A and B are shown apart, each in its own frame.
Chain A
Amino acid sequence: MNFFSKLMQLDRRWVYLLLVIVCLTAYYSDFTVPTIVEDETKAIYDFIEALEPGEIIFVAVDYDPSSQAELHPMTYALVEHAFRKDLKVIFTALSQNGPGMVDQAIRDITDSLKLPKTYNGIFYEGKDIVNGIDYTFLGYKPYYAIVITAMGQDYRILFPSDYYGTPLDSIPMMRRVHNYDDIAIVVDISSGSITDAWISYGQGKFDFPLALGLTGVMTAQYYPFLQSKQVMGLMGGLLGAAQYEQLADNPGLAKDGMRVQLPAHLLIILFILIGNVGYLATRYKERKV
């Protein structure tokens, strides 16, 4: 067995070990990767930025703990931006373990809004975010396609009360809010096929502006909908979140993560190159023989 064929059959565990080493090194180092903002992300930011205080946005948190590393940064960046702009937010979680995600996000964002902060040169006072006035969390119901359709008629059909058991009619911000007609935009932050339902059963049927925050994997699949204007904006993966953070001038989870990305990507490319060098070299030898 020569060097090249050995190179080609390198045990996968060496690959894993190197990946760990590279990630840890990058994690502990201190450099920033500049982010180029794409139009898809800017469209969402601009839309939220242009809303008047008091308008309601609808944030569908359709992921669970397994995708939180990638999608939480988006939710945080977007919801924090909305709250700073005095918008109101309705949350739903249509994936099974989603409610925990919303709970956690609300807790963290509420904490960080208590502090005054300056974004893009504008100073914002710290403030208290109050359940029922600034936001409402409807909760989880299975069979998302049905839920999305029913909410086009009235949120009360499937959510007579919110996640915490308060009847919707006794929640101040929900009193005059019934369906998609009463909100400015739906932002679906999702790690699965719930997004399809939002497009066909939500946007397709009720014609509201729909923005998507997706995991990197899914992003490619949804470009056609961006082109056909069924979707007004799209954030893809950690990079999308980093772009939103950049626009909102609020560096957070996503920017931190980007630092590890670059070396890890380069490592994978290195592996691909090694594999190919090995492959081509052995093939060349075989031909000679």
Chain B
Amino acid sequence: MRNSFEKTRASRALLLVFVCSLLLLIVSFSTSVSAQADNDSDTPADSILALAAPAPATDLKAFDTDNDHGHSITIEWTLSADDGAGANSVISYRIMKSESPDGPFDSVGLVPLGATSHVNSSAIDKNSEGYFSDNTDYYYRVEAMTTNAALFSSSEIVGPVQSSGQWFNAGLVPVLIAILIFTILTMIFVQLAKKGMDLYVRPLAGIEAVDEAIGRATEMGRPILYVLGLGSAADIATIASFTILGRVAKKVAEYQTELNVPCYDPIVMAVAQEVVKSAFIDAGRPEAYKDDIVHFITNSQFAYVGAVNGIIMRDLPATNVYMGKFFAESLILAETGAAAGSIQIAGTDEIPQIPFFFVACDYTLIGEELFAASAYLGREPELLGSLKAQDYAKAVLLASAIIGILLINIFPDFGETFKSWFEVID
């Protein structure tokens, strides 16, 4: 099933061959019947068997599959002379495997005509069907099959061959290099920033609004609602949101405003409690922290939204902050917040939801801006330094895209190679 498009094409072709051979059979049968009328000595069975065994597949090779977890051997061969040409009688290849060159050989796979390779692999689990162990000798042969199950021909036997798992995926070298460059860039800029390099960052309206919004809440004597979204602690957007929550909570504690953080995921709740608690301690007001500032509601999307809607309509928060992963509920929350007259600041990396936040909220952080927000709010040189590194990485990618396009239009061959470095499949 490596390539099912080919498979369907192949199966169509298979059908065609099947129909053709059927026709051939009928024709030969009828001619033999008419021949029989002329000459009784010729039997129909003979003339069916008159179809010769096909030419075998040749140049068989078997080797350990590259860049994998082991338990996998790739077999390659050259098509039988009767596959798509010659007698055109081959309909499939059967891959046979044995632990000894003398057999017995067992079938481990069947591929349609026209195929020149097969990967014989098994799961890691010892109890799975077809399991075979690494570092054991195996022998293979390939049988070219015809419509008649008894009529096939074997290739020569190859082996011994062993499978083994690799400790490095050589196909991922470009990724490794890119990640290393990124890491080094980050480290360099963090060091430079620590040494006092002046780092400019362009203004982000959504971030500047946060301070103002907390002040506004204090003046109005109304709470601030912070929604972490539906992500789990295993989403980077949620981790970014924790950082923003930390900054917001610290300011909230300083201004002595009320804060409400309803949660969707229990782990997120626990982490958020920790974040808010530390922020209150940092702000010098540990006594103001209560565990019910950050509370769990339910792990069901719309029940959660229903409850948050209720909070918005009943508590009328001065400011609603939505940061993290959001799905369909984005617009429900944002429209309810707008109806309640709250100032709304949103940020998410869920691309389909960005337009809704953008339309219904006062400020929206678009995609990457969410991840940059913590650096903006903290203004710590280390974080600003890593933002700079991020920009350099962006510049490198942008330059690669432009160079790649130039290459592919001027030197197509080299351009394709260049392009392939970026098209990694892990």
Contact = CB atoms under 8 A, between A and B. Distances in A.
**Does A pair with B?**
yes
Interface of A: 12, 47, 50-52, 64, 66-67, 96-97, 153-154, 156-157, 176, 178-185, 191-193, 204-205, 207-209, 215, 217-218, 220-221, 232
Contacts of B351: 221
B84 to A, nearest CB: 20
A182 B325 CA distance: 34
Contacts of A221: 351-352
Nearest to B5: A209
B1 interface: yes
B-side interface size class: 20 to 34
Q: Is the interface of A mostly helix, strand, loop or mixed?
A: loop
Nearest to A177: B129
B300 A207 contact: no
B36 interface: no
A178 B125 contact: no
Given A208-B1, A217-B352, 19 more contacts: A47-B8, A50-B8, A50-B12, A51-B8, A66-B301, A67-B328, A96-B299, A153-B123, A154-B128, A156-B128, A157-B123, A157-B125, A178-B123, A178-B128, A184-B4, A184-B8, A205-B426, A207-B3, A208-B4
B123 A154 contact: yes
Contact of B300 (A96, A178, A184, A220): A96
Interface in B128-179: 128-130
5 contacts: A66-B302, A96-B300, A180-B1, A204-B426, A207-B3
B112 to A, nearest CB: 11
Given A12-B339, A153-B124, A193 B350 contact: yes
B352 A220 contact: yes
B7 interface: yes
Nearest to B14: A52
A11 B392 CA distance: 49
B11 interface: yes
B425 interface: yes
Contacts of A157: 123, 125
Contacts of A182: 1
Contact of A183 (B1, B5, B339): B1
Given A154-B125, A178-B123, A209 B4 contact: yes
Task: Give 9 closest A-B pairs by Cβ, nearest first.
Answer: A217-B352, A154-B123, A181-B1, A153-B123, A209-B4, A50-B8, A221-B351, A218-B352, A221-B352
Interface of B: 1-5, 7-8, 11-12, 123-125, 128-130, 299-302, 325, 327-328, 339, 350-353, 425-426
A131 to B, nearest CB: 22
Contacts of A50: 8, 12
A176 B327 CA distance: 38
B2 A207 contact: yes
Contacts of B8: 47, 50-51, 184
A271 B333 CA distance: 22
Contacts of B128: 153-154, 156, 178
A97 B123 CA distance: 30
B5 A205 contact: no
B103 to A, nearest CB: 23
Contacts of A154: 123, 125, 128
A214 to B, nearest CB: 9
A70 to B, nearest CB: 10
Contacts of A215: 328
A218 B351 CA distance: 8
A238 to B, nearest CB: 15
A98 to B, nearest CB: 12
B424 to A, nearest CB: 9
A184 B1 contact: yes
A191 B302 CA distance: 13
B325 A193 contact: yes
Nearest to A228: B423
A180 B351 CA distance: 29
Contacts of A47: 8
A123 B350 CA distance: 45
B328 A205 contact: no
B370 to A, nearest CB: 15
A185 B4 contact: yes
Contacts of A184: 1, 4, 7-8
A62 to B, nearest CB: 12
Contacts of A193: 325, 327, 350
Contacts of B4: 184-185, 208-209
A153 B70 CA distance: 12
A184 B330 CA distance: 36
Interface centre among B1, B301, B327, B328 (most CB of A within 10 A): B1
Nearest to A215: B328
A168 to B, nearest CB: 11
A191 B125 contact: no
Contacts of B125: 153-154, 156-157
Contacts of B352: 217-218, 220-221
A133 B7 CA distance: 23
